[in-house]
Amino acid sequence: MGQSTAVINGKEFGLAIREFADQADASVWIDRHVDHSAPIDAGQVGPTVYMAMKQIAQTRECVVMPIAGVVLVGRPEWVDATATSIGSIVQSASVWSTPKRIDVQWSEATTPNDSLSRIFDAASMNPTHRALDHDLWPAQRWKSIDPAVAIALVLAQFDLTFASPSLPKRLATEPIDVSNRYAQKYDLGAYRTKVLAVIRRKDRSSSAKTDRGLLEVTATASAHRMGIDEFFTTQAKNHRDKNRRTPVSLDTNNVSLNLLNTPAIEIFEKLASATGRACVIDSEAKRACEKMVSLEAKETSFRKLATQIAEQISDQGIIKAIWSRNSLTISAAPKVP
């Protein structure tokens, strides 16, 4: 899911999740029982998009699971139920004879029933269905999504799925049975043995076979989620270990940061840690480093960030951020009389 490093503090939970999903060109669906507007304090996240989203999700006791081109974010039980619904749909192929991918979007404060109507319109469907409970949802946009998956996502917010034979003339719903197993194909490469062991540990009744070079695993959603997390987490660890062996560039514009009322010293420490250096704060600069910083920067470098923060907390430009091979030193130059 791509490489990404950022320091995220003060941004709204839902907005931060969506920004990282956009980096991976993936649709995202967040549990409606999670506060999308809650400010987060995740600190430095990364080094991959998946790990960044996982770290942000953990600030709200949530988990992340990509499935069928959609990244689910929410309470573990909700994510597992939603994945069960989607996995069963994908496994049984489409519920109508000539499926097509659709683009769907709606504005802020749209009701669930209006969201369904937009999906039906985009898919040229008009099924009869029972009204869903009233709610007001954040703005949403899905690109090139299977209509059946889009419908399943909406229903999953109410712990419901649909009886596939009922579509496209009628939308009949039923509770999601999270104990149901579904098959999913993986291209795991060198991670195959490790991921499969995690899945089998979680679901001892799971099964696996090779299909045209891919590993096809039939298991519960929670077991699939554990296996996917093992894959992406190990991948990120290997990437991090590789970077530790390779000096981090201070001048490459590949760092994003969003801060709201964060002590400067915390930011300097995170920047130093991300580059494998120690953070040294001279005694004369300690008071200045206690100042709160609010800053948003996209695609900038570690050197520019440190300089920008130093300038923000400086009195007459006396605070300096000095990089060396082993440290980031924040010093206070003497005032010129």
3-state secondary structure 100-131: CCEEEEECCCECHHHHHHHHHHHCCCCCEECC
pLDDT for position 317: 67
Q: Which amino acid appears at position 191 of this protein? A: Y
CB 161 within 8 A of CB 85: yes
Give the CA count within 13 Å in the CB-facing half-sphere of 12.
10
Q: Which amino acid appears at position 63 of this protein? A: V
pLDDT for position 241: 57
- How far apart are the C-alpha atoms of 109 and 137, rounded to whole Å? 5
SS3 206: coil
CB 70 within 8 A of CB 85: no
Q: Measuring CA to CA, which residue among 63, 58, 16, 19 is closest to residue 37? A: 16
What string of pLDDT tens digits covers the 337 residues of the chain? 666 656 667 889 999 999 888 888 889 999 999 999 999 888 778 788 999 999 999 999 999 999 998 999 999 999 999 999 999 988 876 555 446 889 999 999 999 999 999 999 999 888 888 899 999 999 999 999 989 899 999 999 999 998 866 677 888 899 999 999 999 999 998 899 999 999 999 999 999 999 888 999 999 999 999 999 999 999 888 766 555 545 678 998 888 878 888 899 989 988 888 887 888 999 889 999 999 999 888 889 999 999 999 999 987 668 999 999 888 999 987 655 4
- pTM of whole model > 0.85? no
- How far apart are the C-alpha atoms of 220 and 228, rounded to whole Å? 12
pLDDT for position 132: 93
